[in-house]
Each structure stands twice: as C-alpha cells, then as structure tokens.
C-alpha cells in the first residue's frame, strides 16, 4: 500500500492512495471470485463452467502481471508521494520491502494457474459431456442448446467480474485530473452493463424474442466501440509533469 503517513494530503495524493487500494482489493476479490467459480463448476459438474474457469484464470494471470507492473511504475514515479512538505523518511526501505512480495506474486500466480489447469483437465475427464446426455428428449437440438446456454452463463460470470474491475478502476480518475473521463462513468458502465446483460440476454432468450437479441448484439458493438475509444484515450501521452496512473510501462 502507498505510505502516506508522512505526507501532506491533497486530492492527487488521495487519488493515488485510492488507486493503490483498489489494485490490492481487486487482486484479493479476484482470488475469492476464482474460488467461487471453481466451487460452482464442481457443484454443477458442467464442462462449460470449467472452460469459463480456465478463461478467468488466464485473465487473472494477465491482470496480476499488469497490476504488479503498475506498482513498479508507481515506485518509479515516486507514487509514494512526498507531497508539498519535506519528508525525513526515505521510501527506499519501503520499496525494498515490497519488491519480494511483488516478485512472489509474479511467480506464484502463473504457477497456481498451471496447477488449476491440470486439476481442471482431470475434472474434464470425469465430467466430460455426461451431464448433457442425462436429459431425455427426442429433439436433436436440445443438447446443443444446453451447451450454448452453459457457455453463455459461464462467459457472463467472467464478464461481470471484469466489468466490475474496470468500473472500479475508473473511480479515482476525476481526482487524478482525468478531465476526459465523466464523473459518474464508472457507475453508468457497471450498472448499465449488468442491466443490459440481465434484461436483454435472459429476457430475450426466455421469451425467444429475436428483436431483443438483435438489440443486445447491437449494444455489444457499441460497447466494443466504447472500449476502443477508452483504450485510445488511455494510450494518449499526458503532460510530462503529470503522473499517469493508467500507464503500465514506459
């Protein structure tokens, strides 16, 4: 965590503290959520949920690496801020204590993912597609529909978490003087996306309404355009005097 006990707090310092707190919090929440996905896959004995678990684990490894690199950037740019008043305590000792933990995260997260992948492979051999053969029906289309529904639910569980993670990381943007990010954008992105998924996807499938499904597909195109625009905004270089907390490496 950022050490701010010897600093004179202002909005920028508070913004960096919030950002660092969110990074650590998201890492913990992601670990718990991964455990939830694993237990859910065991309970349902569903191959599609196992595949979603592997996908989430892969993204979790990428997110962990990005967050550790982000913390390196904080240290490089003296994100352990010395504010406006002289600081008698050097941050070098603090950084030296943090380095082993950061390197441990970089090493352990991929290792745990590899172990989980091996275990998931063994579960795949046990589950296979037997749960879909257990439904007795004369329709040849019933099994593909069950598989498609399982894949959709699994991907939605992965998508919900990363939408939440993205929205949370937008929260301190205004404090950190990102004027091109709307004040309540994080709330709109999070709840708007969840509402769209829950209402459009489940209502459209339940009612077999093709117009709702087409609306959802069109909304997906708009969302991809939004994320493309945000990626462009975050990639634009800022003032040399400003510290960019969305920048990962330089």
Residue 55 host element (H or E): helix 47-76
- Per-residue pLDDT band for 239 (boundaries 50, 70, 90) equals low
Q: Is pLDDT at 138 greater than 60 in this prediction?
A: no
Predicted model pTM: 0.73
**Better pLDDT: 232 or 239:** 232
Q: What pLDDT shows up at residue 58?
A: 92
- What DSSP character marks residue 250? -
Compute the mean pLDDT over every residue in the chain, rounded to the nearest whole number. 73
The Cα 130–Cα 94 span in angstroms is 54
- Inside any domain, residue 202: no
- Inside any domain, residue 188: no
The Cα 231–Cα 250 span in angstroms is 16
- Inside any domain, residue 243: no
pLDDT by residue (tens digit) across 149-164?
Answer: 778 888 888 888 888 8
- Is residue 12 left, alpha or beta, with left meaning phi > 0 and alpha meaning psi from -120 to 50? alpha
- Residue 122's domain comprises 11-140
- Inside any domain, residue 147: no
- Inside any domain, residue 187: no
Give, in degrees to the nearest 5, the angle at Cα 59 between 58 and 64.
100
| Contact of 77 with 96, CB cutoff 8 Å | no
Number of folded domains that form the chain: 1
């Amino acid at each position: 965590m950022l050490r701010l006990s010897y600093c004179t707090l202002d909005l920028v310092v508070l913004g960096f503290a919030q950002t660092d707190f969110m990074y650590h919090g998201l890492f913990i929440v992601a670990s718990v959520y991964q455990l939830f996905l694993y237990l859910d896959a065991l309970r349902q004995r569903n191959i599609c949920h196992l595949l979603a678990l592997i996908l989430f684990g892969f993204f979790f490894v990428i997110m962990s690496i990005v967050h550790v690199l982000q913390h390196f950037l904080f240290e490089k740019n003296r994100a352990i801020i010395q504010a406006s008043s002289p600081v008698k305590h050097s941050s070098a000792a603090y950084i030296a204590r943090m380095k082993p933990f950061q390197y441990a995260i970089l090493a352990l997260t991929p290792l745990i993912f590899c172990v989980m992948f091996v275990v998931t492979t063994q579960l795949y051999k046990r589950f296979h597609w037997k749960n879909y053969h257990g439904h007795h029906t004369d329709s040849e289309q019933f099994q593909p529909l069950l598989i498609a529904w399982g894949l959709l639910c699994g991907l939605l569980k992965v998508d919900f978490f990363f939408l939440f993670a993205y929205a949370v990381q937008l929260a301190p943007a205004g404090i950190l003087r990102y004027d091109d990010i709307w004040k309540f954008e994080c709330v709109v992105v999070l709840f708007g996306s969840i509402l769209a998924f829950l209402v459009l996807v489940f209502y459209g499938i339940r009612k077999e309404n093709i117009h709702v499904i087409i609306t959802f597909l069109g909304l997906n195109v708009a969302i991809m355009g939004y994320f493309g625009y945000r990626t462009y905004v975050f990639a634009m270089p800022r003032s040399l005097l400003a510290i960019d907390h969305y920048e990962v490496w330089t």
